[in-house]
A and B are shown apart, each in its own frame.
Chain A
């Protein structure tokens, strides 16, 4: 079953505004990661938050994790046109063994930042 579900599926904002994307998952996790993908390109790792962390910052990115609600949010502040991309959350499951290293991706949020 799909582990991560992002919402909204698409988001269009003006440059300078903040963009918030949410991700929900179903099972316990070791960590949750956010990735960015420009159209037709590979994935770029943005930030990782572990299951025992609640908030993490990296530059203009702020990620929160609520394990009780099985949800995470990615906030991009002061957005730029160059932030236009698809953003995916991905989870690593909370059990040991070969499967624990697999990432399960959500459906993604397509962000468009209008100059």
Chain B
């Protein structure tokens, strides 16, 4: 089946640095990708919807200047956490919608720890 690859799976960074997380659709084109954040033992919260070639749509309460999303190609979306702080530590998950079938596939997630 279709695979969505997220990289890195784990990242530890110092407070104040920026971290980029990649979400790639490996064998299908994804015009739409979604970024979620999951706190420990909690559900997934949609952060933003990323459409190829256009600006991302952010959910209420999500700072777009802090969580920069770029969807420059049909197979890659990136989430950059800028000037990370310990409260940004979380599990970030992306999903990608197959442009052909409409199916939605999830990445394995990226665990960010900000020291």
Specify which chain B residues have a CB less than 8 angstroms from the CB of A104 in the assembled complex. Answer: 46
Question: Which one of B43, B93, B95 contacts A108 once the chains associate, using CB atoms below 8 Å?
Answer: B43
Interface residue stretch chosen among B14-22, B63-71, B78-86, B106-114: B106-114
Interface residue stretch chosen among A35-43, A55-63, A66-74, A75-83: A35-43
Q: Which residues of B contact A (CB under 8 A)?
A: 6, 32, 34, 36, 41-46, 49, 51, 57, 91, 93, 95, 97, 104-109, 111
Question: Are B111 and A105 within 8 A (Cβ)?
Answer: no
A–B complex contacts, Cβ < 8 Å, 14 sampled: A41-B108, A42-B6, A42-B107, A42-B109, A44-B106, A45-B104, A98-B51, A101-B32, A103-B34, A103-B104, A104-B46, A106-B43, A107-B42, A108-B42
Question: Are B93 and A43 within 8 A (Cβ)?
Answer: yes
Question: Are B104 and A105 within 8 A (Cβ)?
Answer: no
Given contacts A40-B91, A43-B93, A98-B57, whether A105 and B108 have CB atoms under 8 Å apart is no
Number of interface residues of A (CB under 8 A): 19
Given contacts A41-B108, A42-B107, A43-B106, whether A102 and B91 have CB atoms under 8 Å apart is no
Question: Which one of A45, A102, A108, A110 contacts B106 once the chains associate, using CB atoms below 8 Å?
Answer: A45
Complex-state Cα separation, A43 to B106, whole angstroms: 6
Question: Which one of B44, B51, B57, B97 contacts A105 once the chains associate, using CB atoms below 8 Å?
Answer: B44
Complex-state Cα separation, A100 to B35, whole angstroms: 16
Complex-state Cα separation, A2 to B42, whole angstroms: 12
Specify which chain A residues have a CB less than 8 angstroms from the CB of B36 in the assembled complex. Answer: 105
Complex-state Cα separation, A44 to B42, whole angstroms: 16
Taking the complex as formed, is A88 at the interface, i.e. its CB lies under 8 A from any CB of chain B? yes
Complex-state Cα separation, A107 to B93, whole angstroms: 15
Specify which chain A residues have a CB less than 8 angstroms from the CB of B6 in the assembled complex. Answer: 42
Question: Are A105 and B107 within 8 A (Cβ)?
Answer: no
